[in-house]
Amino acid sequence: MDLPFYVSNYENSSTGDYLFGVVGKIIMISQRFERYVKSLEALLNLKSNSLDYDQQMQQTAEKIFRKTLNNNMKDIKTIINSNSIIIDVFLEKLKKAREARNYFAHECSLKLDATNNSVFEDIDKLDELLDDYKSKVNDILVAEQIVVVVIALMTHEDYTPNKDILDHVIEWIFDDKKR
């Protein structure tokens, strides 16, 4: 029987510390995206029901925040389709972001464990891995921006999406100076 990965495979190294720091930041971004999706579903439910606002908010929040991200997105799709609010492009961006989020939440660390340190020793493998991570993170950030814009429109908040924000977050996550 093999020892758990954290006992047998990893030494403290600048590459390992960098990579696990990147993964930790990505998981934080992924969880933030999930909260925005849950908030959007709550708003869509509030706009489509007729209960007292406070009562509605309490009931809706309790229900929505217990569900999985996938179920949140299915319900958003149902609400959107029934109200003809948003087109398929939006739903496809959400789907790609969910798949990326699920990769980081459920598969990423297992795949790192399966590399048997090869990604830590081969700079080309590390660069390839980081490029894949960047692509997935970009999917999450783009969908997050779309969700935030929809929320802002629904709540009459001022918000202007900015490509620089995406670039800044990518730079923060993948700061090469720390590698």
CA distances from 39 to 42, 47, 172 (A): 5, 12, 25
Residue of 105, 163, 85, 99 lying closest to 135 (CA atoms): 99
pTM for the full predicted model: 0.74
Cβ–Cβ contacts within 10 Å for residue 27, how many?
A: 15
Distance CA 115, CA 100 (A): 20
**Structural tokens at position 7:** 């006992």
pLDDT, tens digit, 9 for 90 and up, residues 48-94: 555 565 666 667 667 777 778 888 777 777 776 655 555 677 888 99
Interatomic CA distance for residues 148 and 109, integer angstroms: 28
pLDDT over 90 percentage in the chain: 29
Do residues 18 and 25 touch, judged by C-beta distance below 8 A?
Answer: no
